[in-house]
Amino acid sequence: MQGERALYSTTMISTAFVFIGAGIGGALRHGINVVSPRWFGMGFPYGTMAINIIGSALMGLVAGWFAFRAGEGVPQDLRLFLATGVLGGFTTFSAFSLDAVLLWERGETMLAATYVIGSVVLSLAALLGGLAMMRSMS
**Residues annotated in a binding site for Na(+):** 88, 91
Q: Are 91 and 29 in contact (CB under 8 A)?
A: yes
Q: Are 90 and 51 in contact (CB under 8 A)?
A: yes
- Residue 97's CB is within 10 A of a number of other CB atoms, namely 20
Distance CA 90, CA 30 (A): 9
Binding residues: 88, 91
